[in-house]
Chains A and B, each alone.
Chain A
Amino acid sequence: MAYKFFPHTDEDIRSMLNTCGAKSIDDLYSDVPSELVFKEDYDLPEAMSEIEIRQYFDYLGAQNTKLTCFMGAGCYDHYSPSVVNDIVRRSEFLTSYTPYQAEISQGTLQYIFEYQSMMAELTGMEVSNASMYDGCTATAEAMMMAVANAKKRNKVLISETVNPIVIRVVETYAKFHGVVVEKIAAEGGVTSRADFEAKIAKDDVAGVIVATPNFYGILEDYTGWADLCHEHKALLIMNCVASALGVIKTPAEWGADVAVGDGQSLGIPMNFGGPYVGFLCTSKKLIRKMPGRIVGATKDADGKRTFVLTLQAREQHIRREKATSNICSNESLMALYVTIYMSLMGKKGLREVNELGYSGAHYLAEKLVKSGKFELAFPDKPFLNEFAVKTTQDIDMLQTIGALEGFNVGLKIADDTMLICVTEQRTKDEIDDLADLLIDPLPEEAENEENNNETV
């Protein structure tokens, strides 16, 4: 049985079985009816050495195409400083469990406390939990929180300008949780105020979900929305892009009750979809309605400042079916990821990241519009680093040609509309190359065609 992960020698096994009063390991499975035992070999490959593993993943990796990324839509190609990954790989963090034994988990507990503090600063809200799975499930949890808070209402409104990827997860949770989700119409790239006013006036809404920046990258004006929600006893929930909160008006400034979103934009690699980190922040008043773990400060027996999991009586391991959520494992290590990222970037770095994205995106947008082949989908609306453009060109063709040229050109969101994002990682040269490609995707073939025409 000797293998690198199994320290048991034959002598060890004999001696341990002897202590157990068993003749063979099979004896330890004597309680399993023999007809239930799997007696074959698994249909899996043979063990591979590390060298073979590396070769195999190199082979698989070569099947992927690395593209210069101009796609956002909920996942952003931001830079992550070397420090972050180096520390996150420290095995004291990586190989620990949830910090239930506070005396030997102060490392985890303290970084979660720092994470909560930073997310509270970023959103402007009073409190944050220790993290959720991702921005989509965090939004679904906020929906359930609103319904639980309202007690006798089971309807939630969601703006059509929220990322459709978020909406479909919210709708799935709602369907099973017994929540009715109604959309608030989008008009010219922003949420319809009139539709919102009509729907909230029915006094049967538990919560209202809007986005900032919204799916189209637009900064919407939510002046007065919170008051109207509160007048009708509904919670205002804002789904946010974390990185943008370094500069844009915060959920707290808009008067929101719950701020949710994905923290991936705070330097977490795109990783083909995960792991990321969902955040959920709210007011102190609603802290006991919050899902997930929360770390609090306290003192130990010597009076030293320490940190501990707190308000656990809300959680599944104590409250079972009455818990505020079923979440237990969250994305703790990714919370450390963004905590170190925010420590390094500080208040100025986050601003610079947003400025670089803003400048690149607006430079690109102007260039595309000037070409005459594109127009802004929502020309009068302010955006940060992501924007929608309309074109008469075939967007599938643009994506295919882009990929051949090494570009992820953006996301097709309608037959004639694509969503493009610029982060601080994109150089001016890359932006120029992308613009050239989008404006004139088939220059050589066009030339060939001309030549062909001449010969005909």
Chain B
Amino acid sequence: MNNVYYGKLIFELSKEGRCGYSLPENECADYKMQALPANLMRAEAPALPEVDELTVVRHYTNMSNNNFGVDTGFYPLGSCTMKYNPKINEDMAAHPDFTGLHPLQPMGTVDGALEVYYNLQMSLAELAGMSEFTLNPFAGAHGELTGLMIIRSYHMSRGDEKRTKIIVPDSAHGTNPASAAVCGLDVVVVKSRPDGTVDVEDLKPLLDDTIAGMMMTNPNTLGIFEHNIAEIAKLVHEAGGLMYYDGANLNPMLGKVRPGDIGFDVMHINLHKTFSTPHGGGGPGSGPVGVRAGLEQFLPNPRVMKDDMDHFYVENNDKSLGFISGFLGNFAVMMRAYTYILTLGYNNIKNVGPLATLNANYIKESLKDCYELPIGGVCKHEFVFDGLKDKSTGVTTLDVAKRLLDYGFHSPTIYFPLLFHEALMIEPTENESKETLDGFIEVMKTIAREAKEDPEMVKSAPHNTPVRRLDDTQAALHPIVTYRELQAEAL
């Protein structure tokens, strides 16, 4: 990793007069842009870098070496499902018969694209036990928002305007309450029991005629299956609410449980988690939303449909909640997810959940002597340790996470869920071999030993990464977010 020269910003490699592009001659040069009124044009060209092509290639190639991806190594980031992103997915997403399609091209010229969209909709519906799906939402949080809009639309369509509260467990991802707020819903928190599942007794008094529904992740953020789900769904339904399934943790359910079969009415799926599309450093994702029979009309516009003659078409429905995206969502991500489903087929996809669950339990059982396991019993795809078992060393979860980087592993999710002070949330996926897991287990044990023998070394980790621990307090106190500001600060 050559950080000496290539640690620079692209702006710092710029030199006036250099050029990294080639464009055709202007064949209609008689028509000059200078004819436009000067007061409608910018005064100066934007201060973008001027660099040659090879400089650009080396700059970004070297930058990529300072990154860690699933292809680099084991990535046990809890609740993120960092599974392998198959290469064939990328080839199909780049298929030239699809990438050049304009989203508003005339019907009849995009049948192949609509078929992919429709077939993926129906495949997800089958896998989730739902009636229909929309693929328009761009990410998980966008799917949550869309799902909540569906729930509100359902109540409003019945003239039931007072249902403006949504129940969210205290262990939920932060997106749940945030999505509710964007959707104009007030959040009511329901507590967890000591075993990490929703406290049904705490839930009961919350259920009245102002409740729009309840959001749940199952298995929950502790990796524990909410075994009372049938009773919870019954209670919420009796109170007139709908059940929302946050699909962030869908992976262990593949092959075992379908959300639609266990009482959920509306749900989203993160294609970038369960269906192997790459996370891309934080997107693009895709957050398809499914509904049970009876709620289809509320799905967002536009919708892709198929008629009796097997012709695909796009439709806008009056009863729909409206539009939540410009077009039909992140289509290239759908190409990948559909490729993944076809690659696995029904016969392999059913092993995804079980193998992910096996891997998680194997790590949990192998490390529970060194790390505090607050909730015993079987977990699903992930589980949470509450830091090191021996708290006397002063070594925190953050330190363990940073030390893991030195050993070439990505760290688990830390300090989430908020139920435990030193949460360390581990999610292997079905793609990891026993040897990889054994290597991780060995390193985790080594770190526990180092914490006793040389705590200072662990507390100052990482030592072998491209950069050391960062001063994030300074970054937040005096935000420097552009090159222009950086120049002014001479950092």
Q: Mark B142-153, 1 if CB is under 8 A from A, else 0.
A: 101100110010
| Bound form: Cα–Cα A81–B339 in Å | 26
* Interface residue ranges of B83-140 to A (CB < 8 Å): 84-86, 88, 90-92, 94-106, 108-113, 115-116, 123, 126-127, 129, 138-140
Which residues of chain A in 281-312 are interfacial with respect to chain B, using CB atoms and an 8 Å cutoff?
287, 293-302, 304-306, 308, 310-312
Q: A99 contacts B282, CB within 8 Å? A: yes
Interface string of B170-197 (1 = CB under 8 A from A): 0001110111111110010000000000
A344 to B53, CA, bound (A): 7
A347-362 toward B: CB 8 Å interface, digit per residue (1/0)? 1111111111011101
For A78-94 the 0/1 string (1 means CB < 8 A from B) is: 01010101110111111
Taking A62-B97, A221-B40, A326-B182 as contacts, is the C-beta distance between A47 and B344 under 8 angstroms? yes
> Is the beta-carbon distance between B103 and A270 smaller than 8 angstroms?
yes
User: Are A28 and B472 within 8 A (Cβ)?
Assistant: no
Complex formed: what's the CA distance from A320 to B346 in Å?
38
**B243 in contact (CB, < 8 A):** no
Bound-state CA distance A414–B59 (Å) is: 48
> Which of A90, A253, A331, A350 is within 8 Å of B61, CB to CB?
A90
Among B173, B179, B227, B470, the one with the most A-chain Cβ atoms within 10 Å of its Cβ is B470
Q: How far is the CA of A77 from the CA of B462 in the complex (A)?
A: 45
> Are B102 and A69 in contact (CB-based, < 8 A)?
yes
A contacts with B, residue count (CB < 8 A)? 207
For the complex, give the distance between the alpha carbons of A99 and B282 in Å: 8
Pair B280/A322 contact, Cβ less than 8 Å: no
**By the criterion CB–CB under 8 Å, are B63 and A110 in contact?**
yes
Q: Does B482 contact A (CB under 8 A)?
A: yes
Which residues of B lie under 8 Å from residue A54 when comparing CB positions?
A: 88, 91-92
Q: Which of B141, B229, B282, B349 has the most CB of A within 10 A?
A: B282
In this complex, the member of B3, B224, B329, B468 whose beta carbon has the largest number of chain A beta carbons within 10 angstroms is: B468
- Please determine whether A326 and B178 come into contact, CB atoms closer than 8 angstroms: yes
- A371 at the B interface (CB under 8 A): no
Min Cβ gap B459→A in Å is 11
Contact check, A294 vs B281: say whether CB atoms are below 8 A apart: no
Q: Are B28 and A360 interface neighbours, CB within 8 A?
A: yes
Q: Which of A13-21, A198-206, A230-238, A439-447 contacts B (4 or more CB under 8 A)?
A: A13-21
Partner of A325, one of B71, B182, B255, B486: B182
Mask, A45-69, CB within 8 Å of B = 1, is 1111010011011101111111101
Contact A110 B9 (CB under 8 A): yes
Interface flag for A133 (CB, 8 Å) = yes
Asked whether B307 is an interface residue with its Cβ less than 8 Å from the other chain, the reply is: no
- Contact A382 B36, beta carbon cutoff 8 Å: yes
| Complex alpha-carbon distance, A111 and B99, angstroms | 24
Indicate with 1 or 0, residue by residue over A150-169, a CB within 8 angstroms of chain B CB atoms. 00000000000000011011
Q: What residues of B have a CB within 8 angstroms of the CB of A456 in the complex?
A: none
User: Does A331 lie within 8 Å of B127, measured CB to CB?
Assistant: no
Contact of A44 among B45, B123, B325, B486 (CB under 8 A): B123
20 A-B residue contacts at CB 8 Å? Answer: A5-B86, A56-B342, A57-B97, A64-B98, A64-B110, A86-B57, A103-B469, A104-B462, A130-B282, A165-B326, A176-B152, A272-B98, A274-B326, A326-B175, A329-B141, A346-B14, A384-B33, A403-B105, A403-B108, A411-B104
In the A-B complex, the 3 residue pairs with the closest CB atoms? A61-B97, A273-B327, A47-B345
Given contacts A32-B227, A274-B329, 10 further A-B contacts (CB under 8 A): A42-B350, A53-B88, A54-B92, A62-B97, A73-B104, A92-B71, A108-B67, A273-B329, A297-B489, A346-B49
